[in-house]
A and B are shown apart, each in its own frame.
Chain A
Amino acid sequence: MEVFGDLAGGFATALHPINMAMLFVAVVLGLVIGVLPGLGGTSGVAILLPITVFIAHGSLPGSDATTAIIFLAGIYWGALFGGVITSILFNIPGEPWAVVLLFDGFPLAKRLGKPGLALASSFVSSFLGALVSTILFTFFALPIALKALEFGPAELFAVFVLSFATLIGLGAEAPMKSLAMLALGLLLAAVGFDTITGEQRLNFGQISLLSGISFVPVTIGLFGIGEILASAEEQGIGFVENIPARLGLQDVFAALGELRKRLRLVLSNAVIGFFFGVLPGHGATAASFLGYGLARQYSKNKENFGKGEISGIMGPQAAADSAGVASLVPMITLGIPGSPTSAVIMAGLFIWGLQPGPVLFIQHPDFVWGLIASIYLGHLLTFILCLLAVPLLAMIMRVPYAIITPFIVVISIIGSYSLNNSMLDVFITVVFGVIGYWLRKMKYPLAPLVVALVLGDSTERELRKALIAGHGSPLYFFNSALSTVLIVLAVVLVLIPLIRTIRARRRGAGAPAAAAHP
């Protein structure tokens, strides 16, 4: 098997001292970011993205683009694990994917008095979920990429359309809101020079807008600043439940025992989480809810759910971590981010001068396989750190609000400024922070906006290339079987919510008042 040789090469790259050192730093940072409620994985990765430019260009001895991606991805792995700790101990989710853990994780820790078991169960299942996902990643990535190399503009455009359709059809928010955000993202991406004709557009005569709206300050604003503003509102409303944080070896063994009883659930959730995560636009959050639903559905003691059932911790955790890893698969192989976080990592690839997508496997195999190997190592490292450092991590929650809030703002501003040395980017960050906060309040999803902003240019380019090749005829998209299938699939996905509403309306025709107040 060729894969094993490639993977061995990857391990050789990942085990390089500088890469291991940066992986360690990243995982610790990720855990801290995960624990802090005002700072999420996506914003953490976005804020630190400008630093990776210096890592990728060799500011540190021996560092290169592989070090940079190992660093960025490591933050994500840390955050995937770390967000859970505060959910279980304080009833405050550190990350959106840890919200599910409030249902059973906190009750197990508080009501049943087993915080150690709750934490250990979560870590063990996270680790197993991520491991399964990484193994699938190892074997699926190259075949997908090789297939993708044969794609022409029509197929590529169809893939983009499909990924947008999944955001609308499978999103948790109202589909029309997703559509509006998607269109806004495409619109923002179109600002500046037209990629085909070089014509200026949407710049309203401003020279500073000619280079387009940069993706990084927008993301830092939407996620970093937006989250700070949103958590400002919850201050004083929320009440911190404090549970002593200790994690003993006996907790780990107890959790392993519980895992053995639920091995089928955890493994199947991990596999499902992988395929869910590969779908563009869906990361760990959606998968965690799916995983909880599945765990409940197939449990013999449904009545225990919500009271501290361990399946209610292990099911969603396995799915969430698996989906988190899997969301890198479409990014690396096709150049389509699977989640907002992987969208930010993909922006990193562009900045380091790499083209995400199938060509990466041929031109930079060290990079791809180094990354894959680092996923194995990163999760192992995170797992060990989690077992050792829970009390320390729980202490971060005690850092006063009056220090942590301005500090995150300061770091966000450094992040947005230092990429292009531009004050305009700083203002874009601040403005989009307020917009992001407002969109959150209005329950508009942010993922479609970010994904569309990243993919906007390529989508337009492929669409227009295809239209030029087809002499302006949209029928060109149905010339190849693959693009036809993808477009039909996309249409079906968009229609799902519509069908659901119509069915709900038919069923609820007798009780319209109930439908008006969901």
Chain B
Amino acid sequence: MLIAAVAMFDSRAAFSPSAGTSPGDVGARWYPFLAAAIMGIASVIVAYRALATPPGSEAAFEGRQSVFAVLKIAIPMLVYALLIGGIGWKTTDFTYVVVPPFGFYLATALYMGLFAWWLGRYKIWWVAAIAFAFPLVIFVAFEIGFRVTLPKSFLYDAGILPF
């Protein structure tokens, strides 16, 4: 059961000292340092036990298939989150835009459509219907019903679309 992987230990070891910030005065820094120290000690003990336990008694992943199953969900999710806000960076005199912000609604349409097409293997008109219906329902419920404003797209900024 105690198969906390070595990777866990590595990430912890990198994390704890950065959080430590000199123990100095019993002021603002003292308490986080204490917490970091406790966490460091606990993770060292967990790592020690994990290393002391003979490995192989329980694998973290059940075969490659499950890794792919997780990545299939995780990667589109990351791309989706990036699409909403767009990709780019600002310097003092210029804003670089790699991908323009798609806004919440366009990104959601693409994202839901992708899943319906790729994992669901639906016919193309079903994919289109899903991609259209879900953002619409969300628009009505949130933007009109609860008056929650969600991120808008570059087409909204250009005045082409209402979202």
Query: In whole Å, how far is A174's beta carbon from the nearest beta carbon of chain B?
Result: 6
Kindly report which residue of chain A lies nearest to residue B72, judged by CB atoms: A232
Structural contact, A417 and B120, CB atoms closer than 8 A: no
- Cα–Cα distance between A402 and B116 once the two chains are bound (Å): 5
Interface range, B side = 35 or more
Per-residue CB proximity of A362-405 to B under 8 Å, as 1/0? Answer: 00000000000000000000000000000000000000111101
Structural contact, B148 and A180, CB atoms closer than 8 A: no
Structural contact, B26 and A406, CB atoms closer than 8 A: no
Interface flag for B140 (CB, 8 Å): no
Kindly report which residue of chain B lies nearest to residue A194, judged by CB atoms: B28
Kindly report which residue of chain A lies nearest to residue B36, judged by CB atoms: A187
Interface range, A side = 35 or more
Query: In whole Å, how far is B153's beta carbon from the nearest beta carbon of chain A?
Result: 14
- The interface residues of chain B lying within 8 Å CB-to-CB of A427 are 81
Q: Which of A54, A183, A202 contacts B147 (CB 8 A)?
A: A54
Which residues of A471-500 have CB atoms within 8 Å of chain B's CB atoms? 472
Interface flag for B161 (CB, 8 Å): no
- The interface residues of chain A lying within 8 Å CB-to-CB of B12 are 180
Kindly report which residue of chain A lies nearest to residue B111, judged by CB atoms: A406
Interface flag for A99 (CB, 8 Å): no
- The interface residues of chain B lying within 8 Å CB-to-CB of A197 are 27-28
Interface flag for A442 (CB, 8 Å): yes
Interface flag for B13 (CB, 8 Å): no
Structural contact, A237 and B38, CB atoms closer than 8 A: no
Structural contact, A190 and B45, CB atoms closer than 8 A: no
Structural contact, B19 and A202, CB atoms closer than 8 A: yes
Query: In whole Å, how far is A450's beta carbon from the nearest beta carbon of chain B?
Result: 15
Q: Which of B36, B42, B46, B77 contacts A409 (CB 8 A)?
A: B77
Q: Which of A177, A232, A405 contacts B4 (CB 8 A)?
A: A177
Structural contact, A442 and B4, CB atoms closer than 8 A: yes
- The interface residues of chain B lying within 8 Å CB-to-CB of A430 are 77-78, 81
- Cα–Cα distance between A206 and B30 once the two chains are bound (Å): 21
Structural contact, A232 and B69, CB atoms closer than 8 A: yes
Which residues of A163-216 have CB atoms within 8 Å of chain B's CB atoms? 174, 176-177, 179-180, 182-184, 186-187, 190, 194, 196-197, 199, 201-202
Interface flag for B100 (CB, 8 Å): no
Interface flag for A443 (CB, 8 Å): yes
Interface flag for B91 (CB, 8 Å): no
Which residues of B69-110 have CB atoms within 8 Å of chain A's CB atoms? 69-70, 72-74, 76-78, 80-81, 84-85, 104, 108
Per-residue CB proximity of B40-58 to A under 8 Å, as 1/0? Answer: 0011011001000110010
- The interface residues of chain A lying within 8 Å CB-to-CB of B28 are 194, 196-197, 199, 201
Q: Which of A54, A184, A407, A418 contacts B39 (CB 8 A)?
A: A184
Interface flag for B60 (CB, 8 Å): yes
Kindly report which residue of chain B lies nearest to residue A59, judged by CB atoms: B146
Per-residue CB proximity of A23-49 to B under 8 Å, as 1/0? Answer: 000000000000000000000000000
- The interface residues of chain A lying within 8 Å CB-to-CB of B121 are 402
Structural contact, B26 and A467, CB atoms closer than 8 A: yes
Query: In whole Å, how far is A475's beta carbon from the nearest beta carbon of chain B?
Result: 15
Interface flag for A243 (CB, 8 Å): no
Interface flag for B136 (CB, 8 Å): no
Query: In whole Å, how far is A185's beta carbon from the nearest beta carbon of chain B?
Result: 9
Query: In whole Å, how far is B163's beta carbon from the nearest beta carbon of chain A?
Result: 14
Structural contact, A233 and B69, CB atoms closer than 8 A: yes
Interface flag for A146 (CB, 8 Å): no
Q: Which of A183, A225, A409, A418 contacts B142 (CB 8 A)?
A: A418
Whether A229 contacts B4 in the complex (CB less than 8 A), given A187-B36, A410-B112, comes out as no
Interface flag for A437 (CB, 8 Å): yes
- The interface residues of chain B lying within 8 Å CB-to-CB of A202 are 19, 21, 32
Structural contact, B70 and A437, CB atoms closer than 8 A: yes
Structural contact, A179 and B31, CB atoms closer than 8 A: no
Q: Which of A187, A201, A237, A402 contacts B66 (CB 8 A)?
A: A237
Query: In whole Å, how far is A32's beta carbon from the nearest beta carbon of chain B?
Result: 15
- Cα–Cα distance between A177 and B48 once the two chains are bound (Å): 12
Kindly report which residue of chain B lies nearest to residue A423, judged by CB atoms: B85
Query: In whole Å, how far is B130's beta carbon from the nearest beta carbon of chain A?
Result: 7
Per-residue CB proximity of B121-152 to A under 8 Å, as 1/0? Answer: 11000000010001000100010001111110
Structural contact, A413 and B81, CB atoms closer than 8 A: yes
- A selection of 19 A-B contacts at a CB cut-off of 8 Å is A54-B148, A174-B49, A183-B38, A187-B32, A190-B35, A233-B66, A233-B70, A236-B69, A403-B120, A406-B76, A406-B112, A417-B104, A417-B150, A417-B151, A423-B85, A426-B84, A430-B78, A442-B5, A516-B57
Q: B residues within 8 Å of A by Cβ?
A: 1-5, 8, 12, 19, 21, 26-29, 31-32, 35-36, 38-39, 42-43, 45-46, 49, 53-54, 57, 60-62, 65-66, 69-70, 72-74, 76-78, 80-81, 84-85, 104, 108, 111-112, 114-116, 118-122, 130, 134, 138, 142, 146-151
